[in-house]
Structure 1
Amino acid sequence: MLRFRPVLVLLLVAATAGAALAGPSDPRVALKQRAEGETPLIADTFELCDRVGGRITGSPAMDRAVRWGVEKLKAAGVDSVITESFAVPFLWLPGTVEVAATAPESFSLRAVAAPGTASTGSPIEAKVVDVGLGRAEDWAKAGTATSGAIALVHTKEMKTFDELFDEYMRAGPLLKAAAQAQVRALLIQSTRPRGLLYQHPMVFGRTPGTVPVVLVAREQANRLAWLADRTEVRVRMDVVNRIGPSFDAENVVAEIRGKEKPEEVVVLGAHLDSWALGTGAEDNGVNSALVIDVARAFKELGLEPRRTVRFVLFGGEEQGMWGSAGYVERHKAELDRHAAVVIFDIGSGRTRGFYVSGRPELRPVLAKALSIYPGLGPSAHALEGVDGTDNFDFLLSGVPNFVADQEPGPYLPDYHAESDVPDRVNVKEARRNAGIAAALVWSLANSPASIPKRQTRAQVDALLVKTKLVEQMVGLDQWEDWKAGRRGFPPGP
């Protein structure tokens, strides 16, 4: 999952009166009780992660994941299940990475290629130049010594979402500076201790990078820096990535059709793809399983929503939310009839509210829908704008969207890492999250009143400024697509 700057502290309120008034005839109560019992949610998470494994869009594993999702949703008894194609601008799959110091001492380095970046073409060997944190002043200090060298970039240890966000935002400027400095490759220090490696995309636009980039174990990067401060250090690199042109991938789209307003749609979605060092449990296998389990719950309990509920497993999220962008493009003629979109993408941490991306009028909608859950009243829902997950193209198209704000404890340390495996999942909270998702989607699909309307392009423009999403969109190579109408509304008033 690409990440965004989340709120640091959310206000919680006491249980609302609605929780006390809800009785056993309330379908939300039945959904909550079912979710808290023994359901296939956790078994599905293990099955997806252990049998399919890490699943990068464009890989055979992702093809298997799509088939898995189709079969699971069919077995849930939904009214229809299809796959829908979408375009991914370029293919990037990891191949082999060999990195080793050759002087003054010889030792191997634990390293992985950064997604979206170039191969070396053939083995290269060059001196290492330390460019500190890779800021403009660091490159200026290094001067011409970087030309033809392998640049070593330091990082701060990542402990918060803000620090993770900063890691993403510095990627573009770092690649630009590296190209201008004519380095042969970048060695970036892992932000995680004890040798833990992970894979984040360094490239967010429509073309792959031109500089080879690898992430190296934190402690080994420190060793290289210590040596480079005293003598010339040389490193040999051989990076082979599979890079190709634009290709088509698939989303999985299932429906339970509405009995009164079938033309109106509520979407519950999660991305099915992952990076592949681990098996993509927290990001985002557990929430793919959640989407399936909510569909299963509706059918098991015989619930018939007034509006159509669409259950979507998106692909291409990790590369830039291309699956949800493709969905929005494919369904643009019916977006006026999309009542709301609900996205889960922060692992199995406790849901403490939802992001409403700058739309305060959505807070009461959430509070009413979730009144059976103490602490999820209006003030629990954050106004921060969310970029970096599958709500984003709906936001750019004015559709009301909700992203679950989950506690980062089970998620952040293993984010995109080798350690993102199913035993990290918080079973109790994952079940609670499924109940919250089910109650919210049921309420949205059955509300007799209209959910706040779709915004216009002018309103979205104002929202992007108000929520400070413009800065993020520029940093993630999304702003020009918005201005040109390649994502979201077409240009104009």
Structure 2
Amino acid sequence: MRALGLANVRQERFPLQVWERGREDAMVLSPAPQRIAVTALGWSPATPVGGIEAEVALVDSLEALKAAPANAYKGKIVLVTQATPRTHDGSGYGATGPIRRFGALEAKKRGAVAFLLRSLGTHHHRFAHAGSQDRATITQGIPAAAVSPPDVELLQRLAKRGPLRMTLTLTPKPVRDGFSQNVIGEITGSEKPEEIVLVGAHIDSWDLGTGAIDDGAGTAIVLGAAKLIKALPSPPKRTIRFVLFGAEEQGITGGRSYAEKHKADNHLVVTEADFGQGPVYGLNTRFADPEHPTAQALMRVLAPLGVVRGSNAADGGPDVSPMVEAGVPAIDLAMEGTDYFDLHHTADDTFDKIERGRINQSVAAYVAALWTFLSWAAISV
């Protein structure tokens, strides 16, 4: 940010609880021996020393798990087998996400000693997806892990031959206190510096890969937009604030910290790049008037990039959602995500997956949309 010439560059620290994975091992014992690819879910406690050996109960959905009576799975390992549908807008992940967040707690209520789920991904490679659970699992959870999609299908086949029995060993370290930080820089407005247009991304990632897609791509889009806007011959009328949020994967910790610290700031509109590299295909708004002239102005500059008008139900993105919930207007520049959950939270999220043409189009769309807000004469959306 300093190299780009941004103003007011700073870090804003906030506390968080730190969880670290350890050894992860799973092995089917019967009806046929087979090692299984697993990864611990965030906040999972460790298994007892020596691991857990138990029968596996296959459940086809979170709803079916919730419908089971108390003690239905006493002493068993529960595995939810529901697959994540491939969609271009992430709605498939939205539908199955609650399995990861709440499955362990629901399994515990029914007597389970551990919880497994089919990885929330759309590929068929033999690796598993990391991800957080509900924070209640810190004190109330049972050992929990994601299983690679091919291994879930293997377990379903083996279950037809007889009762499934397996061992599971997870050794995460106990949760401890730590900290992270948001990184902030600005281009100060020339006429209305108190009016802020915020664009963000997040700078943390899950540890299995390098975070190139989630959310290195979004960070690059934000900084690419900063570089182009800063290079324009005239400064914008309003202030544009670039925020790289910390600890998004921990549960929007950086976003909540920012919203509390800056709740008195005059945020005109907020948005976040956190769905891979694009390209951008749609514009969603969250304006009091869906047909506000600003929405029409946005479409005039975005249409030449192949962007179409979407809904008026934008959420802005994960880290800015606390501000949107408080009433701040938002836009979504909807990105193509058909392949996003092939990589999301996995060891395969690496830099070689970045495609220059896709990310360049996304930068262009963000610059066009942001400049519309920064330069529009009068906005009240």
* Cα contact 2:272–2:316 (8 A) shared by 1: no
Distance change >3 Å, CA 443–CA 139, structure 1 → 2: closer
TM-score, normalised to structure 1's length?
A: 0.70
Residues 46-80 of structure 1: per-residue CA shift (max 9 Å, x gap) = xxxxxxxxxxxxxxxxxxxxxxxxxxx11111122
The 2-side partners of 1:230 and 1:139 are apart by: 26
Q: What's the CA shift string for 1:370-414, capped at 9, x where partnerless?
A: 523326799613223438612211111211111221111342322
Does residue 111 (structure 1) correspond to residue 44 (structure 2)? The answer is no
Check if 1:352 corresponds to 2:352. Answer: no
Specify which of 54, 57, 64 is matched with residue 127 of structure 1.
54
8 A contact 1:117–1:209 mirrored in 2:
no
Q: Which runs of 5+ in 2 are unaligned?
A: none
| Structure 1 residue identity aligned to 2:228 | A
In the aligned structure 1, how far is the partner of 2:137 from the partner of 2:263?
21
- CA 414–367 in structure 1, closer or farther in 2 if over 3 Å, else same: farther
Give the count of matched residue pairs: 377
Pairing partner for 1:241 from 149, 169, 172: 172
Work out whether 1:416 is the aligned partner of 2:345: yes
- 1:14-33 aligned at under 5 Å gives the runs none
Q: Secondary structure of the residue that 1:131 maps to in structure 2?
A: strand
Letter in 2 for 1:324: G
Which structure 2 residues correspond to residues 198-217 of structure 1 after superposition, within 5 A? Answer: 198-203=129-134, 207=138, 210-217=141-148
- Asked whether the 8 Å contact 2:126–2:149 carries over to 1, the reply is yes
Decide whether the 8 Å contact of 2:51 with 2:169 is kept in 1.
yes
Q: Aligned equivalents of 1:107 and 1:377: distance in 2?
A: 48
- Structure 1 residues 299 and 143 mapped into 2: Cα distance closer, same or farther (>3 Å)? closer
Correspondence for 1:85: 13
Amino acid at match of 2:33: S
Measure, in 2, the Cα distance between the counterparts of 1:258 and 1:295.
14
Do 2:37 and 2:148's aligned partners in 1 also have CA atoms closer than 8 Å?
yes
Select the structure that is richer in helix: 1
Distance 1:358 1:195, change over 3 A: farther
Percent of aligned pairs with the same amino acid = 26
Counterpart mapping for 1:379-390 below 5 A:
380-386=309-315, 389-390=318-319
The 3-state SS of whatever aligns with 1:146 is coil
Per-residue deviation, 1:242: 2.9
Q: What secondary structure sits across from 1:317 in the alignment?
A: coil
Instruction: Find the partner of 1:445 among 369, 374, 379.
Output: 374
2:218 is paired with a residue whose SS is: helix
Unaligned runs of at least 5 residues, structure 1: 1-72, 453-493
Distance 1:178 1:407, change over 3 A: same
Letter in 1 for 2:97: Y
Offset at residue 141 of structure 1 (A): 6.6
Amino acid at match of 1:346: F
- Higher relative contact order structure (alpha carbons within 8 Å, sequence separation ≥ 6): 1
Q: Does 1:169 align with 2:63?
A: no
What is the CA distance between 1:98 and its match in structure 2? 1.4
Amino acid corresponding to residue 325 of structure 1 in structure 2? R
Kindly report which structure 2 residues correspond to 1:334-353, keeping only aligned pairs within 5 A, or say none.
334=265, 337-353=266-282
Alpha-carbon shift at residue 136 of structure 1 (Å): 5.2
Instruction: Identify which of 307, 314, 332 aligns with 2:245.
Output: 314
Q: In the aligned structure 1, how far is the partner of 2:302 from the partner of 2:340?
A: 23
- Kept after mapping to 2: 8 A contact 1:95/1:242: yes
1:72-117 per-position Cα deviation (integer Å, ceiling 9, x unaligned): x1111112210012233x3222222111123444332111011222
Q: Secondary structure in 1 aligned to 2:3?
A: helix
What is the rounded CA distance, in whole Å, between the counterparts of 1:294 and 1:285 in structure 2? 14
Question: Are the counterparts in 1 of residues 68 and 110 from structure 2 also a CA contact under 8 Å?
Answer: no
CA distance in structure 2 between the partners assigned to 1:353 and 1:163 by the alignment: 18
The aligned counterpart of 2:27 is 100
Please report how far the alpha carbon of residue 135 of structure 1 lies from its aligned counterpart in structure 2 after TM superposition.
Answer: 4.3
The 3 A distance-change label for structure 1 pair 377 and 228 is closer
Q: Which amino acid is 2:357 matched to? A: K
Output the CA distance in 1 between the equivalents of 2:222 and 2:308. Answer: 26
Aligned residue in 2 for 1:266: 197
Q: Is the 8 A contact 1:321 1:388 kept in 2?
A: no
* 1:134 CA displacement: 4.2
Instruction: Measure, in 2, the Cα distance between the counterparts of 1:327 and 1:257.
Output: 19
- Does 2:219 correspond to 1:292? no
Letter of the 2:156 partner, please give it.
A
Cα distance between partner residues in 1 of 2:287 and 2:365 = 22
Corresponding residue number in structure 1 for 2:154: 223
Match of 2:302 among 373, 383, 388: 373
Larger strand fraction of residues: 2
Distance 1:225 1:358, change over 3 A: farther
Distance in 2 (CA, whole Å) between partners of 1:386 and 1:372 is 21
Deviation at residue 233 of structure 1 after TM alignment: 3.2
Question: Could you say what the CA RMSD is over the residues aligned between the two structures, in angstroms?
Answer: 2.7
Q: Normalised by the size of structure 2, how large is the TM-score?
A: 0.89
- For 1:257, the equivalent position in structure 2 comes to 188
